[in-house]
Structures are given as C-alpha cells and as structure tokens.
Structure 1
Amino acid sequence: MSQTMTGAAAPASAPARRPSNRWRVVSLVLAAFVALAGVRAFTGQDSLTEAGTIRTMLVFAVPIGMAGLGGLWAERAGIINIGLEGMMIFGTWFGAFAAYATGNPWAGLAAGILGGVFGGLIHAVATVTFGVDHIVSGVAINILALGATRYLSLLYFVGAEVDGSRGGASQSPQLPEFPEVSVPFIADLLRPVQAGGWFLVSDLARLVVGLTTDMSVVTLIALLLIPATYLVLWRSTFGLRLRSCGENPDAAESLGVRVYGYKYVAVLVSGGFAGLGGVFLAMVASSVYQQGQTGGRGYIGLAAMIFGNWRPGGLAMGAGLFGYTDAVQVRGSGAGVHSLLLLIALALVAAALWQWFRHRRWKTALAAAVAAVALLAVFLTTDTLPSQLVTYSPHIATLLVLSLAAQRLRAPAAVGRQWRKGSS
C-alpha cells in the first residue's frame, strides 16, 4: 500500500516544480525590467529603454545568440567547440561572396550557413573520427579561417565593384539587403504612450515597438531558432539521444545509440548556427563583409551559453544582456553606460540580500554589498565614464556575469571527453 502511494506521489510531485522554476525566471526578468525603467526615470536617460535601443540590442545579440546555440548543440553532444569564431568567419565570407556573385541575399544566407557547416565538418572529423583534442582543433579552425578568408578576399574581392562600391583585400563591395518585417499599426498606436515618458508604461510601449517594427527577416528566423532548439533537444527522442551522448556516451552506446553519428550531426548543426551568425554580421548588422568582423563574438557566444547553463532560454538571456550592453554603449554613449552603474548596484544589493537570507553565505553577501557601495559611489561622484571603459563594457559584462553565474553551473558530464567506440 505504501509503495503504491509512494509510486503515485512521485510522478505528481515532479511536474509541480517546473512551473515554480519558470515563474522564478519570469519574475527575475520582470524585476530587471522594472528596475531598468526606474533607472531610466531617475536618470532621465531615455536611451536606456527607447525602441531604437531595443532594435540595436537585437542586432548585437543575434550573432552572439547564434554562436551560443552552436556551442550548445555541440557541447550537449560532448564536443567542446572553441572553433565557433572561425565558423562565424567562414559564414561572413561565404555569405558575402555568394550574395555579391548572385545579387541574391538568400543565396548569401544559404552559402554562409554552409560555410559554417564546412568549419563544423573539419572540427567533427578531427575530434570525433581522429580523437584530436577539442581545444586544439577549435583553435586551429580559428586560425585557418582567418588565413583562408584573407586569401580568398585577395582572389575575389580586390577590384570587385557594385554600384560604385569597391571591394578590397579586407572587405567586399556593397551587399544586397534582406527584407524587413513589422507588425502593422503598432508604432502609430503606441507613439503617444512612448512620448509620454511615464514610468514603466512608456518603457513597455517602447519595448513592444522595438520588438515588432523594422526587424530583418533574418532576425526573426534567428529568434525562432531558440524555441525550435528547445523543442528538438528537450522534447524529442532525437534530442534525448543526442544529449545522452554528452552525458554518458558509454551508456548511450550500450542502448544502441549511434554515438558517432549524433556527435557529427551536433557539430555540423553547431557550425551552421555559427555560419548564420556570420551572415547576420556581414549582411544585416552591416552591408559589407569586413575582415575581423566577428570581433570575438564566437567566444562571447560561448560565455552566453555557459551563463545560460547550457539551456536555450538562459542562453537567450545571456545574449540579450551582452547585446544590450553593446546597444547602450552605441545609443547612449558614456552617459548611458554611466546610468547602468546604478542598475548594477541595485542588482548587487539584491544579490547580497538573497545570499544572506536564503543561503547564509555571508562572505558572498559581503562582497556583493561592498561592490554595490563602490559602484554607487562612482555613480554619484562622476557624470561620465572614461571612453576606454565604455568601449570595453561588453567584455567587462561578460566577465562579471560568468563570475556571478559560476556557482550554479552544470556542464554535460562527458563534454570534452575524447570518447572512442567500445572504450567502456
């Protein structure tokens, strides 16, 4: 009788915890937005929440998010993909070349994705088939991509010209653009609310306008790939088998899972996502391919993936955070970033209270409180920040986020393992 009751209670209790976790995430996002609206109202820096900043955030966040999704697919199958930066570089160049050669942006999108898949294939052959160290293979791909795209630019872009725009050894001519999509009437309906400057109400209106107007169709595709990844990896048999390869490949093999095949698929998809991010940089965020265009976003994408605890939703939050920091730097310059000091100080105060009352970690709480006081002092005693600090604020945000998130992370158990069939 007791066994029956216990068995019946277990399935009922497990699903009950999930809504609670989701509610905590939603509550955190809402609290952050309310705090941001409060900082905007207090400082008068409308650039913090205006629709243009939201659109700019998407422009910066999408390449990071695509690189992060690529890293998620690979690492969930047990393969560390440091080569995401190189795969993005392949995506920028092949996408630009195909768009320039055909005059069709969709041909550029397809070619850029295939360029990233090509980089993923190199990584898969090296790590899965030949057992090369994952880090060594990834670094080699990054170096190869830099040299190869420079050589190809010398061959095909030097002397090329489109409507008066000339290419060169480090850039392409002008590239065709993707169409944009908007939800009709939203901007017109919410324009008075945006201009009102009301706390939270105007900020919410600006957020809605920023997310529903003048959006590139590639941005929309990228946003849809985040829930699609969740459905494939967490709600399908295929995804369960792929993730088992990153948790315990020996057990997966014993159950008949073709571990090599799933690892290959994961790394190829990983390269395709990185290639898509590269196309976005060359043809949406910009209108020409330029050498060094990725700017380390492949590595920041990995940081966003780690911040998100190897989950698509958390990854999207991390990419949005890094993209927002970049957007505020561009739209609000030093004054906007200076206003964020107050927001960060409030977040640190909340973290200190949480650590003290919930976990009783007084050292962590004290460190967060001291940092909050220091940032508040800087905010109150200065009007702007040094230009060097403003320029590198996204990288500083990356380090801060990773240091704060490190305590709750759990990577796939077998990630980075040089697994060989029959090794168990």
Structure 2
Amino acid sequence: MSTATVLDKKPASQPAPGGRRRMSLPVTMIVIAAVLALTSLVRLITDADGITNVSQMATALQLAVPIGLAGLGGLWAERAGVVNIGLEGMLILGTWFGAWAGYQWGPWVGVLAGIIGGAIGGLLHAVVTVTFNVNHIVSGVAINILALGVTRYLSNFTFEGVEGGTTKQSPPVDSLGTLTVPGLSDWLTTLNEKHWFLISDIAGLLGGLVTDLSPLTIVAVALIPFTWWVLWRTSFGLRLRSCGENPVAAESLGVNVIKYKYIAVIISGGLAGLGGAFLSIVANPFYLEGQTAGKGYIGLAAMIFGNWMPGGLALGAGLFGYTDSLKLRGGTENVHALLLLVALLLVIGAVWMLVRKKYVAGAVCAVVAAGTAAWYATTDDVPTQLVTATPYIVTLLVLSFSAQRLRMPKADGQPYRKGQGT
C-alpha cells in the first residue's frame, strides 16, 4: 500500500469542531445568490446603481487579485504547517523586483523577477522557521520589516537619477495589455445599464469578469482551481497537507517533512511576489513605496475567512477587493447605500440567532441593525474617512463573525524537528 493511500484514509465526512459541517457547494451558491438579490433590492431602493455596475466590478476584480495571490501564498504555507505573517514583506519584494526588472527588460521579465523576489523572502522564512525553529510570527514580522528596509535602500541608488524615477518611485513599466471578450462585454454592459432587478446586477458582475482583463489577472484566477487540484487531487498535495496536519505521522510513512515545508513556503513567497508584481506592473505601472498598503495582511484574513480552502479564499478576496474599490468609484454614495444592505443582513442574522435560541447574539445583532438603519435613514452621506477605512473594517467584521466555524491545519505554526516522533 502506497504512502498516499495510507495518508488518505479518513472518515468520509468530518464535521468541523463543535459539530459544525462545512457548507456544501449548492448551499454556498444559494447564499451567494441570496446576497446578490438583497444587494439588487438595496440598489433599487437607494438608486445607487454604481454598486453593481461593470466598471465597479472590474475595479473590484483588479483590487482582489493581489489580495487573492497573497492569501493563496498563505494557504500553501499553512497547509504545510508554517504560518506566514511575512506575506506583506514578500508582496513588497515582488513590487520592487517586478518594477526594477520590468522597466529594464519588459513587463513579463518583471513578472518573473517579482515571483523570484517573493520566493527569496519565502526561502528566508523557511530557513528561519523550518531549519532553526524560530517562532513563525516573529520571523514573519521580521521579514516584513526587512523587506521594507531593503527595498528602500535599493531604491536610493537604483531609481534615483533615472528618468521618471525617484528614491521612492521607479520609472514607468510598459503595460502587459488588456483583453476583452468581444461582443459579450458590450452585451453585458448594455444589460447592466437597464437597471433591472437582479438580472442587471448579474450582468454587471459577469461584465467585470470579461472587460479590460490583464493577462496576469487570468493567470491569477486560474491559480485558484489549480491550487485546489494540486493540493487535494495529487499525491504531492496530500503529502504536503499531511505535514500541516500531523508531521510525525507523515514522517513515519516516509514523507520528507522538511522538504515539503521548504517547497510550500517558497511557493508561498513566489505567489505573494506575483501579487506584488501585479501591483507594480498592472494596477500601477511603477513601483511606489507603500503601495502594498497592508494587502498582505488582508490576504491572510481572506485565507482565514475561506477556512484554508481555495474557493473560500477566492470569495474572501473578492469581498475585500469590492470594499476596497468603493473608495475609487463613487465612494461615499455607494458606502451610504451599503449601510442599508448591512442593516438588512444584520436583521437576517438576528432572526437566525433567535431561531437557534442564541438570544444574546440575536439581541446584539438586532440592536446593531437598528443603529445602522437609523444611520442610513438620518444621513445622506458618510465621512470620507469611513470610505477609506471600509476594507479594514470589513476585514475585522468578517473575521469576527467567521471565527466560530474555522478549522486550521492541526500542526499549523508548531515547531518540528526531524525524527521527533522516534
């Protein structure tokens, strides 16, 4: 019997801690459809057509890509048992190396350099945590600080004096170009502009997925199902995941735990570096100090929200990308309209809690829903500071509400030494 066969022996359906089971795909799709219908209803009530138009969705997708790639990097590392708080630093390395190589040798070379830059950060994190068993959080924070310092130092003598460059900004990088599905994009845009209930909102969502796409966006989206296939449908992925669940048992079955942890963390850094290259080549055609703006941490939150699964991670990245896009397109008006959506969702949550006899939680949801509804009804606008802070507020709220259903890999963050089980 092979190692993969032995490792794969597990109960057919494992409930999450506390007796909770993961939502099946049909249930998840029904929930998404219900939220979209509720959003459409709010759009009709508030006349805030911008919350689901094609340009809003296209912007949301572009902002979701670096978050999703950072989260995907975190997923690879943590499935092998290594916590990667250093995603922000690896993103920074990807932005700098991507722009540096991009303006000299072209954008695709910049993409490759960004991946390598992030992978170097991942390799450093692997050496420190896997070989020397340093606390994973300490190592990750150190990499974030180190990446910021290194890129600032390199910029001083690399970009300064070059045409279009400064000590904090690189010269412009050539574009990778964009792709639009001919015919379909125009048809969906026309349908979206009719402002019909639900149909126009679905058209806006789909239109954002087929309009002015960067080739790198397509690659990033394809990496989601590819990661799922590799980690859950191959023997390589099974061995890698076993290192994050029970490395001692994996080693007893012949798995080289150290090797798989190194591979996972280097891939993790490379994916974060790819997200960084996206920021400095696609989102902005140059490197700018501070342009990651905490997206590595938000990517980590998206991964946690997604329960360490690629599909859930994609939904989390989309949610955070959408909230981030609000400040770029009709920010105050759209956020004010979404106050009503939040109030309605809280009312539904309160009813659900009361049905499950969780009276305290239900009462809290009801009170917050009433406050949010009153805020919407008594104001016509929201402060611009709230619009800017919306992505971070949503990050905190999502993690707070999803904490009870999470189930991280059992050995995630735990130190491991070869032969410790003997």
TM-score of Structure 1 vs Structure 2, range by shorter chain:
over 0.9
Report the AA paired with residue 41 of structure 1.
L
What is the CA–CA distance in structure 2 between the aligned matches of 1:19 and 1:92, rounded to whole Å?
36
Partner of 2:6: none
Partner of 1:82: 85
What is the CA–CA distance in structure 2 between the aligned matches of 1:417 and 1:11, rounded to whole Å?
24
Question: Which digits, 9 at most, give the CA deviation of each residue in 1:155-192, with x for residues without a partner?
Answer: 1100112xxxx101000011111121121111333343
Partner of 2:318: 320
Question: Which digits, 9 at most, give the CA deviation of each residue in 1:283-336, with x for residues without a partner?
Answer: 111111000111111111111111111111111111111111111221121111
Report how far residue 389 of structure 1 moved. Answer: 1.3
What is the CA–CA distance in structure 2 between the aligned matches of 1:196 and 1:108, rounded to whole Å?
41
Partner of 2:195: 197
Partner of 1:5: none
Partner of 2:340: 342
Q: Which moved more, 1:401-410 or 1:17-26?
A: 17-26
Report the AA paired with residue 139 of structure 2.
S
CA separation of 1:416 and 1:336: change in aligned 2, threshold 3 A: same
Partner of 2:162: 160
- For residue 171 of structure 2, the aligned residue among 161, 173, 178 is 173
What is the CA–CA distance in structure 2 between the aligned matches of 1:151 and 1:140, rounded to whole Å?
16
Question: Which digits, 9 at most, give the CA deviation of each residue in 1:249-307, with x for residues without a partner?
Answer: 00111111110000001000000110011011111111110001111111111111111
Report the AA paired with residue 172 of structure 2.
Q
- For residue 246 of structure 1, the aligned residue among 244, 247, 251 is 244
Is 1:127–2:129 an aligned residue pair?
Answer: yes
Is 1:386–2:383 an aligned residue pair?
Answer: yes
Is 1:61–2:64 an aligned residue pair?
Answer: yes
What is the CA–CA distance in structure 2 between the aligned matches of 1:124 and 1:41, rounded to whole Å?
51
Report the AA paired with residue 338 of structure 2.
L
CA separation of 1:138 and 1:12: change in aligned 2, threshold 3 A: closer
What is the CA–CA distance in structure 1 between the aligned matches of 2:401 and 2:12, rounded to whole Å?
33
What is the CA–CA distance in structure 2 between the aligned matches of 1:404 and 1:200, rounded to whole Å?
26
**8 Å contact from structure 1 (residues 47, 328) kept in 2:** no
- For residue 36 of structure 1, the aligned residue among 36, 39, 52 is 39
What is the CA–CA distance in structure 2 between the aligned matches of 1:198 and 1:172, rounded to whole Å?
45
Partner of 1:4: none
Is 1:375–2:375 an aligned residue pair?
Answer: no
What is the CA–CA distance in structure 2 between the aligned matches of 1:191 and 1:112, rounded to whole Å?
34
**8 Å contact from structure 2 (residues 77, 261) kept in 1:** yes
Report how far residue 127 of structure 1 moved. Answer: 0.5
- For residue 397 of structure 2, the aligned residue among 390, 397, 400 is 400
What is the CA–CA distance in structure 2 between the aligned matches of 1:204 and 1:315, rounded to whole Å?
21
**8 Å contact from structure 2 (residues 125, 139) kept in 1:** yes
SS of the aligned residue for 1:184 comes to coil
CA separation of 1:88 and 1:320: change in aligned 2, threshold 3 A: same
Report how far residue 12 of structure 1 moved. Answer: 8.9
Report how far residue 349 of structure 1 moved. Answer: 1.4
- For residue 304 of structure 1, the aligned residue among 292, 302, 311 is 302
**8 Å contact from structure 1 (residues 74, 80) kept in 2:** yes
SS of the aligned residue for 2:283 comes to coil
Partner of 1:365: 362
Partner of 1:51: 54
CA separation of 1:12 and 1:298: change in aligned 2, threshold 3 A: closer
Is 1:141–2:138 an aligned residue pair?
Answer: no
What is the CA–CA distance in structure 2 between the aligned matches of 1:310 and 1:412, rounded to whole Å?
8
CA separation of 1:144 and 1:19: change in aligned 2, threshold 3 A: closer
**8 Å contact from structure 1 (residues 88, 278) kept in 2:** yes
Partner of 1:7: none
Report the AA paired with residue 253 of structure 2.
L
- For residue 152 of structure 2, the aligned residue among 120, 126, 150 is 150
Report the AA paired with residue 404 of structure 1.
F
Report how far residue 20 of structure 1 moved. Answer: 6.9
RMSD of aligned C-alpha atoms? 1.7
What is the CA–CA distance in structure 2 between the aligned matches of 1:108 and 1:296, rounded to whole Å?
22
Question: Which digits, 9 at most, give the CA deviation of each residue in 1:6-54, with x for residues without a partner?
Answer: xxxx99989xx99971111111111111111111111101110000000
TM-score (norm 2): 0.94
What is the CA–CA distance in structure 2 between the aligned matches of 1:292 and 1:13, rounded to whole Å?
44
What is the CA–CA distance in structure 2 between the aligned matches of 1:335 and 1:386, rounded to whole Å?
10
Report how far residue 200 of structure 1 moved. Answer: 1.2
What is the CA–CA distance in structure 1 between the aligned matches of 2:22 and 2:245, rounded to whole Å?
25
Instruction: Calculate percent identity across the aligned residue pairs.
Output: 57
What is the CA–CA distance in structure 2 between the aligned matches of 1:89 and 1:180, rounded to whole Å?
24
Query: Unmatched 5+ residue regions in structure 2?
Result: 1-9, 15-19
Report the AA paired with residue 193 of structure 2.
A
**8 Å contact from structure 2 (residues 61, 208) kept in 1:** no
**8 Å contact from structure 1 (residues 70, 269) kept in 2:** yes
What is the CA–CA distance in structure 1 between the aligned matches of 2:24 and 2:352, rounded to whole Å?
16
What is the CA–CA distance in structure 1 between the aligned matches of 2:268 and 2:319, rounded to whole Å?
22
